[in-house]
Amino acid sequence: MTTTELPILFLNDLVVLPGMVVPVELDHAARAAIDAARAHSDDTLLVAPRLNDRYASYGVVASIVQLGRLQNGDPAAVLKADRRVRIGSGVSGPGTALWIEAEELDPTFETDEIRELAEEYRHLLVATLQRRDAWQVIDTVNKVTDPSGLADLAGYASWLSDEQKRELLETPYVADRLRVLVEWVKNHLAETEVNDKIADDVREGMEKSQREFLLRQQLNAIRKELGEDEPEGAEDYRGRVEAADLPDEVRKAALREVGKLERASDQSPESGWIRTWLDTVLDLPWSTKTDDSTDIAGARAVLDADHHGLEDVKDRIVEYLAVRARRSQRGLELVGGRGSGAVMVLAGPPGVGKTSLGESVARALGRKFVRVALGGVRDEAEIRGHRRTYVGALPGRIVRAISEAGSMNPVVLLDEIDKVGSDYRGDPSSALLEVLDPAQNHTFRDHYLEVDLDLSDVLFLATANVVENIPQPLLDRMELVTLDGYTETDKVAIAREYLLPRQLERAALTADEVQVDDEALREIAADYTHEPGVRQLERLLAKALRKATTRLAQQGEQEGDQEGDGGSARTPLVITKANLREFLGRPRFTPEAHERTSVPGVATGLAVTGMGGDTLFIEASVLPATEGHGGGLTLTGQLGDVMKESAHIALSYVRAHAAQLGITDPSVLDRPIHVHVPAGAVPKDGPSAGVTMVTALTSMATGRPVRGEVGMTGEVTLNGRVLPIGGLKQKLLAAQRAGLTTVFVPQRNAPDLDEVPSEVTDAVEVVLTTDVATLVTAALEPVAAATQVADAA
């Protein structure tokens, strides 16, 4: 066996067979091979395809026909392939080209079998070329007498892939090549005949003005050639249902619908409804579940990294995860059973991180996350879906959320569940009763699906601003976790760790360019915002950074004008408490309790609204007696019925216990009295302002102002008992923000103090009380101080 040493040229997108003449674009490696061939091997070189996983075993010896340039100006060479050789090992050679030892192949002797295969292939090849009207190529094929050369003409065939051509190149025996080619050309001819027949069938019934009709006829012709006699799409749906991993009952229901589709006419509207229903059922992830993370410490780390504080929520999530992990370890996982899900409602004012907490929970558990916005939803069908008899019917939002998540155990966040309404279309909150009951939702039935859907492994999280707006039966099915807002220290930490980096990125700034110190952050949280959350704080940070960006741009222009004078590295722009007004203007909120209570008849109460805790000033004033008119009580400030009753109870108590309260002239209480709660545009209701009203009325009657640093909350009875109230943590947070240092709260609310941050209890003295008279005595200014105030007035 003879060998020849030749430079080799590897081609990426071209397979060259013997007898082919091809142009080759010259890159660096190709230029090196061409130069080596011209200089050292009589213009001959070895050409082989470049493979991904190995070196080619065979190549062709080619000669350089011409050197020139392509139309785009790139250098190129025209190569003519001569003979097939086996690629041996690499050898050293001159120049930078790669040299290979090429082994000549043994000559092939023509046999009867080879001649028969060559004639069969020639016949099939001519038939294929006739379909393409390539008559000149047919003449060339008929002139080729060498069976090997005839087989290698396949290098020009456009219907063969590069992989097939590489297989021909690496098939040295002519008989084997011809057998493979005969099989390939037969398949190609059969495919071409089917396509031509489909085109003919379509062309016969086509109307030029209807493109849709053309597409339908093509589809019908394809099914006709495949021997499918079933109605359009029915066989496809039956196969999809049988192949899908569906629960037994769902599979039976789906096969029933497939049977209806097979019997229905193509023009029947019912066919479209059935297809839509089947698509919906098949798109649901009936058997897909994600694996819960069992790393308790890792889950807590994710929650801590995403949110500051919120310890109750984090503890509850970690507890849930720990229980799930232990049940899994002990083989107690419930599949389609009762009570294997969990439902929590995160209640609190806006901006404390309720919605974003859902995504963190999903990350901590390793589950998919999907959010369902319920604000303003008034149609029960939004939850349970529409009956299929309606045009445009769809499944409910719960089913769509499961489909969107792609698993049967996602974290589903029901956002703003307290804002669900009801009208003539039904009550969506009632439809949620089954969804959110862990003892029932393993057989949830959507009106559109009409099959049982197991929601027991779904972790439902709901968010709400006002718990009282959630229907009691729905609230009873959920575990309430309250987020009462952040302290000033919490806000500074959140701003430093989360808000400031995010706003720096949005303003295209870095910490080396603009810095905000902690004192400035504390000033913004205390005097520029009055909220339990941090949304307004983030807006103000964004405003300050926008102004800082503008200032930096102006400084850059000035430095550009002075370029060439030399200078040092630019120092960062620091926003401090001293220059904060330059970026945000004057503070919006200042403590006003001392000013408002400096006159008798005004007391500071504490209230809870949908926006969190707030201070509530109650003013009482006595009017001059008019002839013919006795005493009366006038109430203003858009008060609710419960708050109006509290005012009447407070007045009755003060009249009945005037002496005990230190009122020396009880007749003042028989004159017309006006009680007003400012911010009259805001509706107010609830019993917790009872003690504040008693204090305001007593202050008015005695002429002793209420101490400016005192706030109070509590419901009062006719005999002066102070009853417990709700939202104590939010009220104490509001008291701290307002600058109050003493707050009177009911004795029975003492257990709620465990939830109040130590920062608040250190700043605010909490006085527990059971008797309103004791509270009033402690809240009013001493007699001597009251006299000095009156003299000053």
User: Which DSSP string corresponds to 507-572?
Assistant: TT--TTTEEE-HHHHHHIIIII---SSSHHHHHHHHHHHHHHHHHHHHHHHHHHHTTTS---PPPP
Residue 692: count other Cβ atoms within 10 Å of its Cβ: 30
Q: Is it the case that residue 392 has pLDDT exceeding 80?
A: no
Helices (H) and strands (E) in the chain, counts: 29, 24
| Structural domains of the chain ordered from first start | 3-104 (2.30.130.40), 112-198 (1.20.58.1480), 230-283 (no CATH), 296-482 (3.40.50.300), 488-558+570-584 (1.10.8.60), 593-792 (3.30.230.10)
Mean pLDDT of 715-744: 88
Q: Please, which pLDDT band fits residue 507 given cuts at 50, 70 and 90?
A: confident
492-514 per-residue burial string, b: 16 or more CB within 10 A, e: under 16? bbbbeebbbeebbeebebeeebb
Mean pLDDT of 641-661: 90
Q: Is 272 annotated as a binding residue?
A: no
* Cα 571 from Cα 567, distance rounded (Å): 11
Percent of the chain with pLDDT over 90: 10
Structure token pair of residue 529: 């915002």
Q: Is 354 annotated as a binding residue?
A: yes
Residue 63: the pLDDT is: 92
3-state secondary structure (DSSP) of residue 488? helix
CB neighbour list of residue 225: distance below 8 Å, 6 or more residues apart? 194, 197, 198
Residue 693: the pLDDT is: 92
Mean pLDDT of 584-588: 83
Q: Is it the case that residue 192 has pLDDT exceeding 80?
A: yes
Bridge partners of residue 634, in order along the sequence: 674
Mean pLDDT of 135-152: 83
Residue 769: the pLDDT is: 92
Residue 567: the pLDDT is: 45
Q: Please, which pLDDT band fits residue 362 given cuts at 50, 70 and 90?
A: confident
Mean pLDDT of 768-785: 85
Q: Is 80 annotated as a binding residue?
A: no
Residue scoring higher pLDDT (629 or 421): 421
Rounded to 10 degrees, the C-alpha dihedral 7/8/9/11 comes to: 170
Q: Is 396 annotated as a binding residue?
A: no
Bridge partners of residue 90, in order along the sequence: 100
Q: Is it the case that residue 615 has pLDDT exceeding 70?
A: yes
Residue 670: the pLDDT is: 84
Mean pLDDT of 80-84: 91
* Stated pTM of the model: 0.60
Residue scoring higher pLDDT (422 or 494): 494
Q: Is 350 annotated as a binding residue?
A: yes
What is the enclosing helix (H) or strand (E) of 221? helix 211-226
Q: Is 757 annotated as a binding residue?
A: no
Residue 207: the pLDDT is: 52
Residue of 271, 456, 688, 699 marked catalytic: 688
Q: Is it the case that residue 232 has pLDDT exceeding 50?
A: no
Residue 793: the pLDDT is: 46
Asked about 688 being catalytic, the answer comes back as yes
Q: Please, which pLDDT band fits residue 227 given cuts at 50, 70 and 90?
A: low
* Chain centre distance of CA 476: 29
* Cα 779 from Cα 521, distance rounded (Å): 33
> How does pLDDT run across 527-549, given as a tens digit for each residue?
788 778 888 888 899 988 888 88
Q: Is it the case that residue 472 has pLDDT exceeding 50?
A: yes
Q: Is it the case that residue 740 has pLDDT exceeding 50?
A: yes
Residue 241: the pLDDT is: 82
Q: Is 95 annotated as a binding residue?
A: no
* Cβ pair 457, 407 in contact under 8 A: no
Percent of the chain with pLDDT over 70: 89
Nearest CA to 653 among 642, 666, 641?
666
Q: Is it the case that residue 785 has pLDDT exceeding 60?
A: no
* Cα 743 from Cα 581, distance rounded (Å): 32
Asked about 419 being catalytic, the answer comes back as no
| 2-6, 129-133, 647-651: the lowest-pLDDT one | 129-133
Q: Please, which pLDDT band fits residue 687 given cuts at 50, 70 and 90?
A: confident
Residue 311: the pLDDT is: 80
Helix axes 162-169, 174-205, angle to 10 degrees: 160
Q: Is it the case that residue 202 has pLDDT exceeding 70?
A: no
Q: Is it the case that residue 746 has pLDDT exceeding 90?
A: yes
* Cα 780 from Cα 11, distance rounded (Å): 97
Mean pLDDT of 367-385: 83
Residue scoring higher pLDDT (225 or 118): 118
Q: Is it the case that residue 498 has pLDDT exceeding 80?
A: yes
Q: What is the chain's mean pLDDT, rounded?
A: 82
Q: Is 351 annotated as a binding residue?
A: yes
Report the sign of the C-alpha dihedral through residues 700, 704, 708, 709, in that order. Answer: negative
* Cα 7 from Cα 460, distance rounded (Å): 69
Q: Is it the case that residue 230 has pLDDT exceeding 50?
A: no
Nearest CA to 281 among 411, 446, 438, 169?
446
CB neighbour list of residue 517: distance below 8 Å, 6 or more residues apart? 574, 575, 576, 577
Angle at 668 between CA 664 and CA 670, to 5 degrees: 125
Mean pLDDT of 777-787: 74
Residue 649: the pLDDT is: 92
Residue scoring higher pLDDT (724 or 54): 724
Residue 370: count other Cβ atoms within 10 Å of its Cβ: 21
Structure token pair of residue 362: 């999903």
Q: Please, which pLDDT band fits residue 339 given cuts at 50, 70 and 90?
A: very low
Q: Is it the case that residue 452 has pLDDT exceeding 50?
A: yes
Residue 722: the pLDDT is: 92
Mean pLDDT of 348-355: 82
Residue 174 CA: distances (Å) to CA of 84, 169, 375, 463, 643: 11, 11, 76, 76, 103
Residue 525: count other Cβ atoms within 10 Å of its Cβ: 25
* Cα 377 from Cα 379, distance rounded (Å): 6
